[in-house]
Structure 1
Amino acid sequence: MYKFIVGLLMASFSINALAWGQIGHRVTGAIAQQHLTPQAQAAISALLPTEDLAEASTYPDEMRSSPDEFWQKKAGPFHYVTIPEGQTYADVGAPEQGDGVSALKMFTANLKSSQTSKEEKQLALRFIVHIIGDLHQPLHAGNGTDRGGNDFKVNFFWQDSNLHRVWDSELLEQRKLSYTEWTAKLNRKINAQNINDWSTTDPQVWIAESIKIRDEIYPKEEEISWDYLYNHLPQAKQRLKMAGIRIAAYLNEIYK
């Protein structure tokens, strides 16, 4: 019964769940691009000769309107995980239709396999970049009660919104910077110690971090503006930096 209920929540959650939006995903891909090993860079360039990781990162969201059965019936749950409060991913695991962790495992196997086509490998690479970014957005480790914050209504800088949308895009868009400006701003603050500390490729570590943040970011008041931005934009920036480094670490490991 639990997995059935979670499945229903996932189906409805997937309609609106676009982690980080275009800007955030591109930032994670662009940061990752700058931390690839030469081997990984060469392999990725051979697979996607006219596309960098910033462009690849948004592909799974851009394809959501495709009428193809894969995009309409299978891919939705690949963008998130559902972890009730007080539990861990190890406690819950993936539901029958899959989630971000099971999809990451599947696409990693596809990327490594000698039996998959170039097109399948391209899709796998794009999803890997995207999913790692998704799992660093705190509300993509949702608690199963409000569709990852989509049902938690807020008024952000005097505009009707919801908590998921605030974290997907509005925190970043409020600063009026392009993704290249965000990338330059964040990447120059990443040092060698950060890279050493952050370069884990274990999704359960990323999810545990997101859950900790998730449980701290629900505001007490519906009206949120400067105070909320001051308190939580630094967290969003940190998650973007960490996601970029971990995308690179994950791909470097695949191609080492």
Structure 2
Amino acid sequence: MTNDRLRDALLRQGLTPDTAAEAIRVDAKTIERWITKDRTPYPKHRHALAALLRESESFLWPDALGPERAAEVATSEVVAVYPHRHEMPREVWSRLIDSAANQLDILVYAGLFLTENHKLIKTLRAKAQAGTKIRFLFGDPDSLNVTSRSKEEKIGPEAIAAKIRNAIFFFQSLSDEPGVELRLHETTLYNSIYRFDSEMLVNTHVYGLMAAHSPVLHLRQLAGGDLFDTYADSFNSVWGDSKPLPSELLTRRN
């Protein structure tokens, strides 16, 4: 049995067994065995290779960590827990947005609170032009799940749909910027997800409460961890089922 994940990760980074072996100071034949015979490296080599490939150990070698150790690493991935999103320090958001250099992902229904940052459009545009990949996922304002969530929060059946349209109006000027994608999803949103490279904020959703009043997990990705990757995979699943913004939602300002 071959380790196809390891093989693909090497290819994505433009590496060969020889160049990877040189980078982490092992024999190239050793890396070949890790691939072709699905051998599991020693921990120090797993750490080094995962860092080189920018992948988690749990992805490259799913069975390498026992349940207890995996739980310990997951705990270490939690930087902070905030009981309510509205109580989070503004500097946390500012630092995470400013620090994102490669990937910035946002999964929300509306995320209208983000528009309170009057410099955000300028900041995101500059990041996109510098090479940061930015992906926005907004709830489809016409979907049943958005209507249901609005009713659950007891703010009226159309309230969240209106917030979504307002948020899209705010961010629409980025829609033609290379490196920025704005899309719609129709999923039941169990968590809002905000990813900034290897850090993430997960705003849990609680029945009957607005997202602003619900808890937030601050996560930082670790090579041997699985918690961060669980939410990252969730974002990618929603992205895979999403659709482009329809033209009627992209009404340009005069």
Identify the structure with bigger relative contact order (alpha carbons < 8 Å, sequence gap 6+): 1
Structure with higher strand content: 2
TM-score bin, normalised by smaller chain: under 0.3
TM-score by length of 2: 0.21
* Higher Cα radius of gyration: 2
